[in-house]
Structure formats: C-alpha cells, structure tokens
Structure 1
Amino acid sequence: MVRLTAVLAVMSLMLGIALFSFPARKNDDTRDFSQFYCAAQIVRRGLGRQLYDLKTQVEFQSKVASVHVFYNHPPFEALLFLPFTYFNYRAAYTLWTVTGLALLVCTALLIESHTKVSLAVAQYARVHADFGLVVIIFLTFGPATTCLLIGQDSMLMLSIYTLAFILLKRGAEFQAGCVLACGLFKFQFIVPFVLILVLRKKWSTVSGVATVGALLVAASTKISGGQVITEYPRFLLLDRTYQQIAGFAPEYMPNIRGLLYLATKGRLPVAFFGGLVAIFSLAALWLAAKNWQDRHFSLSFSASLFATLLASYHLYNYDLTLLLLPIAIVCGELAQRRRLLSIPGITTAALILLFTPPMHRLLLLHGVYALMCIPILVLFISAARLIRFSSNSQNAIA
C-alpha cells in the first residue's frame, strides 16, 4: 500500500510539473508536442500534401506555441495525434502526458513480468523491491522524465520494442516484425535492428517488418500524395532551409556520430566524417549480429538494441528512454543467476551515470551530451561479453 501511494505520488508530481510549468503565453512554450499536434491539424484540414512545407507548419504552429521545432516524421504518425486535435492545445498536451504515463506504467509491467528486474533492484540496493519501485525508477529515469514533460513520443518506441521482445521470446517472429514496423515513425531506431536481423537471417521477422512497412508507406501516400516518396527524403536530407533552421547538433547526440563529432571537434570534411560514422556504426551492428545466439536470446536482443542506439544517426536525450528495456533484461538475467553484484566496476559505473538525473542535465548544459554514448558503449560490450561467457559456460558443462 505504501509503495502504491509512492507510485501515485510520483505520477501526480510528474503530471503536476507538466501542467504548472505550462507557460501563460503561447510564445513561451517550447514543448515538442506542438509539432505533433500541428501536423495532425494539417492532416485533419486535408492539407497532407503540404505537411512538409515549412510555411504551412509555421502557420499552424505559431497559433499554439513558439515555432522552435518542425514535424519531420513520416506522415502516418500524424494519424495517431488526430484525436488530440479535437481538444485545445493545453488539454491535448495534458491528455498526451497522461497517455505517456499510462504507456510507461503498462510497459514497466510487461518488462517486470518478463525480466524480473525488481529482483535486480533488490539485490543491488539491498531493499525489498516490487513492481511499484520499478515504476518509480522508470519514471525518474532522466530521459523518460524529459520525454513526458516535453511531450515527445519515445514512450511509444519503448512499448513497441517491449512487445516485439515478448513476441520474439515466444517464437512469434512474424508478429514481432509487424509490431516492430510500427516504430518506423522513427526509422533510425528500427532500420539498424532490422539489419542485424537480416545478418542473422531472421527472415520471418524481416518479412513482418516489410509487410507492415509497406502498409505504412501506402497510408503515408494516401495522406500526402505519391510525391511524398521523394519529397520526404528530400526534406530530411537536401532541404538546406530546413537543415539550417532545425539546427541538428551532433554534440548533443549520445551515439557514435555524436562521440566522433566531439572527438574530432567537428573539423573533419563532411564526406570523410560521414564515412567514419558509417564504418563504426556498421561495425557495432556486425558485432551484435556476430554475437547473437538464439539460446541466449534475451541477452542477444539487449546487445542488439544497445548497438542500434549506438548506430542510430539521429538520437537525443529523450530517445534514451528506450534503454530501460535492454538494461532491465541484462540486469534481470544477472540477478536470476546471482551474478549481478559480481559485474565489472565499469559496468556498474555506466549504470550509475545513466540513472543519475543531474548527470544528464549537466552534460546537456555544457553541450557535451554525446559523452553519454560512453556508458551505452560499455553496456553493449558488457552484454556481448556476457553472451560469450554464458555460451562458454554451457559448452564446458556439456
């Protein structure tokens, strides 16, 4: 009862902060939710063909918030936010925040039931741990908190990967691929993982991704017309006006791209830097595929998800909400083997850094958030080593 009260208190506090920090003047609002709300409004007005016209986005967004971010996701995601456009902006934001909280709690329940991460918390913190404590830890994870407060969509991605993990674990590979494809609204987190599946010849899962992916492309062309097939890539990659306004900053990206950008101080020629990022990213994905072992599926899935985040070209603070799944899987696995407290100190340090909220804030304030790639890299290497160790142990017993 006490733990339930604590969970409700944290959730209420989160919602309270979201609502009370809502600015009185629309020009002071810089929440990312405005991009989704306005994209859905554009589609609802029958202007889907103008979805990636910056003037149209400015026109709609300036009515509800400060124009600080543009909608750059595939058209089909805008459909998800259509119901919210029947409410005023503040009410819609409140409903989306409540939806995010509900998604996180439901996903935490699924993760706990399939990983027993509460056992890891109990062993590490030496306290009684249950689902309630897991929810509190998830809610206070820096990237997850940020995601909820600014109205981002990372909770959806966490839910999708969690469902895909459960389905794959049950052997429902095609269905898992279908679910995974639903995350293509942020394709940079799906394509690298699918590449690992291709290298592992998981054709059933890949076909599921392709099937639903084709349906989503069809839905997008229905919304924005057939020209969106060429217009969307042009908007993302070649529209100089958009690139200048969007101001993508690699030093804030906790992935291979961001870490290399910090290391080279952004002085390398664009083509050479891009090639370097591609080489290291592909190497991470190849290592994940090479270490994948079906008899150690959970650990293999986790290592692959770590590699996916490292190789993703575009990754920001709130996107690290997705880390909750692979970390829970690995820690739960170690706890069940009674080996959690014997992990290397560097792995423990990586976990502490990731779950210390002020650390995220500090790195963001100093413009070096790409350094958060290092603990993710440590966890990836640790997961890969754990797979090999588990395999060698089983072979020795056999």
Structure 2
Amino acid sequence: MTVRTRTAVVCAAAAAAALLAYYLVAWAQVSPLRERGTDFSASYVAAQLVRDGQGASLYDQRAEHARHLQQLPPGTVIDLPFITPPTSALLAMPFTLTDPGTAFRLWSLCQLALLALAIVIACRAAPWPRGMHSAVRWGAVALGLAGVATFSFLLLGQIDGVAALGLAAAYALWRRDRAGWAGFCLALGFAATKPHLAVGLAVFLVARRDWRAVAGAAMGAATAVAASLLTAGPAAFGGFVSSLIFALGNTPATSTVGTAGLAASWLGTGGGATALGLAGSLVALAGCAVLGARSAGRPMRLEAALAGALALSLVASPHVLAHDLVLLAPAFGWCLARAAAADGAAAAWPGQAAGRLLTGWVGL
C-alpha cells in the first residue's frame, strides 16, 4: 500500500469515525418523550395492535392515535399515523416485549447494524481491482455508513436498513449470476417496508428483460403480500393505500427530497408545482427504463446502472425524505469499487475516477 493510499484510508476512517461518534452522541441524548414520538413509535404501536389481535385496526387512525397517546404524558399533541405496510408492524413485534424507550434504542441500533451489513455485502461483492488492499474496502464501508442521511435515519428509528439489506443482497446475487434470487431479495426488502421507493427499480427490472429477476421479484412481492394478509387480513390493503394518500396530504411537499419536493420548494404549493413534480417523476422513471435497457446482458454496466436506477427511483417517489437516502450507501460502495477498477490496480487510491466519486459522496 502506497503512502498516498495509506494516508487516504486513515483520513477516511478518521472522518467516518468522527461523524459516527457525533451521530451516536446525538442519538444517546434523545429524550424519553422523544423516544416515544419517533417515527419508529408508529410501528411500535401498530405492532402492539397486531400482538393484541387487533390487526384489522392497523390503519384505523383513531385507534392508533389513542394507543399512542397512552404511552405519552397527558396533554401531549402528536400526529404520527402508521403509513407503512403491515409487514413493518410484524418486524417491530419482537420489540414490543420491552418498553417504548428501550424498544426504540434496540430497533435503531438493529437498523444501523443492518445498514452496515448491507454496505459490507455490497463492498465484498463489488469488482475491486486485484491487489487492492482490504483497508480500502473497509474505508469505503466506513464512509458509506457515515453518510449524512445516517444521522436522521438513526435518530428517527427508521426502517430503511431492511430495504438496504435487500438491495445489497440483490446486487451480490446479480454478481454471481443468480438473477432470480436477486429479484426476490430486492422486491422483498422494499415491499415489506417502503414499496413506494422502488417503483423505478421495478421499471429497471422490466426494462432489463431479465425475466428470471422479474419472476423472482414477483415472488418476493407475493411473499410480502402473504405476510401482510396473515398479519392484518384483507382489509389491510385498502388501509395501506388510504394511508399513503393520507401521508401525501399530511407531509408538506417541501420537506421531501424528490422531484415533488424540489418543485414545491421552487414554486410553492399549487397546481403548477404538482404538475412539475409529476413530470419530473415521469422523466426519472423513463431514465430507469433507459438504464435497464442499456445494462441488459452487459455485466460491466451493472454497478452504474443499478445505482442510477436507485437514485432515480428515489427521486421519482412523491414521499422520499432525507433519511431514505441511506439506501444510496451500498450503491456508493459498489460504485467506488468499479471506479477503483477503472483507475487501475497500479494507481494509488483514490485515483481520478474514485476521487470524483468520493467528492460527490461528501457533497451529498
């Protein structure tokens, strides 16, 4: 390992460690009241309903709100409806064995661990050049985990770690030419947690004309649907769709980071902003189709195409928030490997391509 590479790895590790330490200190200072009012608390309350045999009331906002208020001091005002699939309540059910505060702590740490595992899987499967020191890979893992989106992801107790793991597993399986299982993991990871973020990825799959992956994705989605039926019954589907519509009206568009949020930030609320946001989403979905078509049968293009489709899929979603950008962390890992391969094994790391990618990640 050259002096330049060693210096770069040490600097990357130090910066990542400092950021992660800051995130964890802020997370440790979350107040007991805030613990019971994080985004995770909505899943915790939903899991309690399922545990108590009230799965049919999963999307009954009055029942959910009443149960939520029981865990908060008298007079607390909160507006945090359950808007994720029934499977997210199922995933949260083991955590109902503890009090809300402890459950939040355990859940957020588990999600952080899943995100870290996803980045490790992506970096291990990625096409690093021969002779590249393993310290560079671990530096990439650290930088991916320390991305700025991890801060809000951790503090809010978000569920994106599950989707990130499904994404990373799908990439690793594609690298091994196991497209069917890749599609299964990709669809299951998103369908069980945040399906609205994966519309562009579905377009990407179809455009690739990799029918094994499409069939696997159909099975993954069907598995999530079956789990939802077992958790909350047939009424859950109508309730989930209604909750998504409610979320669009309940969440200010300017707080989102997709095309809808950008349009609302520029033009304010109104028909013009809505039309511009919709047009932007359609363009992003078209971009996913182009990336899928151009990567079909070309393994060398997998990293850039899948990362691009992921980014465009997030942009196209009308309800993508800053913490959802942690899903880009595994993609950063595999793209950094491809960039290092383009620079060549003989070049000191980071080379020109890897340096540009690192600059973009820091800027993000």
TM-score after normalising by structure 1: 0.75
Q: 1:344 to 1:259 in 2, by over 3 A?
A: farther
For residue 284 of structure 2, the aligned residue among 271, 281, 285 is 281
Residue aligning to 1:366: none
Q: CA deviation at 1:162?
A: 0.3
AA aligned to 2:27 is: A
For residue 313 of structure 1, the aligned residue among 293, 314, 318 is 318
Counterparts of 2:118 and 2:177 in 1: how far apart (Å)? Answer: 20
Residue aligning to 2:233: 225
Counterparts of 1:12 and 1:261 in 2: how far apart (Å)? Answer: 34
The reply to whether residue 43 of structure 1 matches residue 43 of structure 2 is no
Deviations 1:275-314 (A, max 9, x none): 4244323332233224324232222222222222222222
| Equivalent residues of 2:197, 2:317 under 8 A apart | yes
The reply to whether residue 351 of structure 1 matches residue 361 of structure 2 is yes
Counterparts of 1:200 and 1:317 in 2: how far apart (Å)? Answer: 29
For residue 109 of structure 1, the aligned residue among 120, 125, 128 is 120
For residue 63 of structure 1, the aligned residue among 54, 66, 70 is 70
Counterparts of 1:177 and 1:345 in 2: how far apart (Å)? Answer: 31
For residue 34 of structure 1, the aligned residue among 37, 41, 52 is 41
| Equivalent residues of 2:123, 2:330 under 8 A apart | no
Residue aligning to 1:300: 305
Residue aligning to 2:27: 18
Residue aligning to 1:380: none
Report the number of matched residues: 339
Mapping of residues 263-282 of structure 1, within 5 Å: 263-269=266-272, 272-273=275-276, 275-282=278-285
Residue aligning to 1:164: 170
Residue aligning to 2:328: 323
| Equivalent residues of 2:311, 2:328 under 8 A apart | yes
Counterparts of 1:317 and 1:118 in 2: how far apart (Å)? Answer: 33
Counterparts of 2:308 and 2:274 in 1: how far apart (Å)? Answer: 29
AA aligned to 1:353 is: G
SS in 2 for 1:22: coil
| Equivalent residues of 2:184, 2:216 under 8 A apart | yes
Q: Percentage identity across aligned positions? A: 23
Counterparts of 1:117 and 1:102 in 2: how far apart (Å)? Answer: 24
Counterparts of 1:216 and 1:154 in 2: how far apart (Å)? Answer: 16
Counterparts of 2:124 and 2:34 in 1: how far apart (Å)? Answer: 44
The reply to whether residue 205 of structure 1 matches residue 210 of structure 2 is no
Counterparts of 2:24 and 2:325 in 1: how far apart (Å)? Answer: 20
AA aligned to 1:167 is: L
Counterparts of 1:345 and 1:132 in 2: how far apart (Å)? Answer: 16
Counterparts of 2:315 and 2:255 in 1: how far apart (Å)? Answer: 13
Q: 1:258 to 1:13 in 2, by over 3 A?
A: closer
AA aligned to 2:254 is: E
Q: 1:233 to 1:104 in 2, by over 3 A?
A: closer
Q: CA deviation at 1:152?
A: 0.5
AA aligned to 1:49 is: A
Q: 1:202 to 1:135 in 2, by over 3 A?
A: closer
- Mean Cα deviation higher: 223-232 or 109-118: 109-118
Q: 1:180 to 1:37 in 2, by over 3 A?
A: same
Residue aligning to 2:106: 95
Bigger relative contact order, structure 1 or 2, given CA contacts below 8 A and separation 6+?
2
Mapping of residues 324-339 of structure 1, within 5 Å: 324-338=329-343
Q: 1:207 to 1:101 in 2, by over 3 A?
A: same
Counterparts of 2:20 and 2:106 in 1: how far apart (Å)? Answer: 14
Q: CA deviation at 1:118?
A: 11
Counterparts of 1:38 and 1:220 in 2: how far apart (Å)? Answer: 16
Counterparts of 2:109 and 2:142 in 1: how far apart (Å)? Answer: 16
Q: 1:267 to 1:134 in 2, by over 3 A?
A: same
Counterparts of 2:128 and 2:37 in 1: how far apart (Å)? Answer: 35
Q: 1:310 to 1:170 in 2, by over 3 A?
A: same
Counterparts of 2:147 and 2:119 in 1: how far apart (Å)? Answer: 12
For structure 2, the residue ranges without an aligned partner over 5 or more in a row are 1-9, 345-349
Residue aligning to 2:146: 140
Deviations 1:118-141 (A, max 9, x none): 99x99xxxxx94455334323321
Counterparts of 2:124 and 2:354 in 1: how far apart (Å)? Answer: 26
SS in 2 for 1:337: helix
Deviations 1:157-201 (A, max 9, x none): 111100010011111111112111222121122232011111221
TM-score after normalising by structure 2: 0.81
Q: CA deviation at 1:323?
A: 1.1
| Equivalent residues of 1:144, 1:321 under 8 A apart | yes
How big is the alpha-carbon RMSD for the aligned residues of Structure 1 and Structure 2? 3.3
Residue aligning to 2:347: none
Q: CA deviation at 1:57?
A: 1.2
Q: 1:233 to 1:28 in 2, by over 3 A?
A: closer
Counterparts of 1:287 and 1:133 in 2: how far apart (Å)? Answer: 32
Residue aligning to 2:5: none
| Equivalent residues of 1:192, 1:285 under 8 A apart | yes
